[in-house]
Chains A and B, each alone.
Chain A
Amino acid sequence: NAGVTQTPKFRILKIGQSMTLQCAQDMNHNYMYWYRQDPGMGLKLIYYSVGAGITDKGEVPNGYNVSRSTTEDFPLRLELAAPSQTSVYFCASQEGLSYEQYFGPGTRLTVT
């Protein structure tokens, strides 16, 4: 199993550009999460999904969108990138009977 994979690993965006951060898991987990982590700070939940076709907002959803058309994939869309979105983005998945979350390696995004 590859676990949770994220692409790209690094990206530099200009202000106003858009991009999609990809996340995929091959563990057949129902629950998936997107977090951002700013330097020296904790994980902030952006969006989460409890299954294909179902998504909900976390603590910091503004400026982002998600979709969950399959169990495996949970892409995060940034529209009109802003410098405040410079961060490390982690995707995680969780099996339905457990609370343990498995993390992808992260995407380091810089918006200039």
Chain B
Amino acid sequence: GQNIDQPTEMTATEGAIVQINCTYQTSGFNGLFWYQQHAGEAPTFLSYNVLDGLEEKGRFSSFLSRSKGYSYLLLKELQMKDSASYLCAPAAGNNRKLIWGLGTSLAVNP
């Protein structure tokens, strides 16, 4: 079957670093996406990893280990505007669908 596991909620302090973990089990794995979703808004693309390793993009980095079925999203120099849900979404199968986790709700406190 297909399963995604990520923490439901996390809190962090402005200026700090936070790591959001995601473990997954899918068949026909074709990479992993992270999306950000602010309350009341649509998800927006953050990162895509298809090979093992770390991808860095400004304050955000994403890591993938295909053999372990594990990814994390690293957010540095947290800002209040980073308070949002972060969705882990493996791409699986030939029909180009993303498998969506429930998301991690991150609250950044001053």
Contacts and interface: CB of A to CB of B under 8 A. Distances in A.
Interface string A40-81: 011101001010000010100000000000000000000000
B33 A99 contact: yes
Contacts of A102: 45
B68 interface: no
Interface of B: 30-31, 33, 41-45, 48, 87, 91, 95-98, 100-103
Contact of A48 (B97, B100, B103): B97
Interface residues of A, number: 22
A99 B96 contact: yes
A36 to B, nearest CB: 11
Contact of A42 (B33, B44, B48, B103): B103
